[in-house]
A and B are shown apart, each in its own frame.
Chain A
Amino acid sequence: MRLLTHNMLASNIKGVTSGYPLRIEAHQSAAKEADFNADFLRNVFPKIDWPALVSAAKTLGYGDLPEEAEPSMLESDEFLRRFHHALLEVHVEEGALVCPETGRRFPVNKGIPNMLLHEDEV
């Protein structure tokens, strides 16, 4: 699971108000090379919750993202490389995503997050 996926996931348990961002419990993570595409990064930047990405990347041991980001930074190749690495190359393989409000753990197995709810959570 890339951090792009993590950035788009929220806990939707009944009664939870924000449920975002999910805390990452990584038992196994990996770095996998992905094709660099500056245009994609520029397109997707406005859709990314930056603080959530920074904190997720830190959890997985990647601390090279600036705490704050603004569109003008997308001109910088160095910034794009770091953004690319955090968003698309850092993976959670095994572990869980934890709801910040309830502590409910959504498992991640073989890199796939499972967001299914139990009947009493819907």
Chain B
Amino acid sequence: MTVEVSKVYLLDVATGEGVEAELRDAIEQAQIDDWAKHWIPVVLAAIQDLVARQVPRADWPQSLHWNWPKKITRVQGMLAFPGFSVVAQGVTQGLAQLDLTRGCQEPGQKGKPLVYVEYLEVAPWNRSELGATPRLRGVGTVLLTAAIALSYEEGFKGRIGLHSLPQADAFYRRIGMTDLGPDPACQNLRYFEMTVEQARAFFEKEEGR
């Protein structure tokens, strides 16, 4: 399999400078190795901190228990479940796994195919909700933009959907996605969808930056 690599830019929060990064249209062994070697120790430290601060478990970021090797093994070689990764400064900065088998829920586009973002996670050192100042900004936006671009490439006209973890609800509203409310079929997480028009507006805004 040939992996397509695109050049993207992230923001180094400490210096305010742009950082060159690779957007790769796959999640490979190197990403799984980075997850085990670099992400997990930071996640474990964050969990220890949450316990020490007696933060109720219900308020912990839900993605802390995500096991990427398991997620990737489950969909290995399956056309319907592509993945993306962002690599910068020699290490994986974010991962996304998508599902192309689902249909839209938003009344104006119900039943039409979309790119469903099954999992999207940025490296723990880039997440402000884990306590420290993030190192790099823009990883989640790069991955979401890749999902919308894939939707165009597949002929789905930019339509994407996802169930949001509570700490990300405001972000998805801010970028213009339609909030279809809590979904009892998915742990009551809020379901967001991007329409053809919203995708066009999203790209026009991104290009204007």
Partners in one complex: no
Interface residues of B (CB under 8 A from A): none
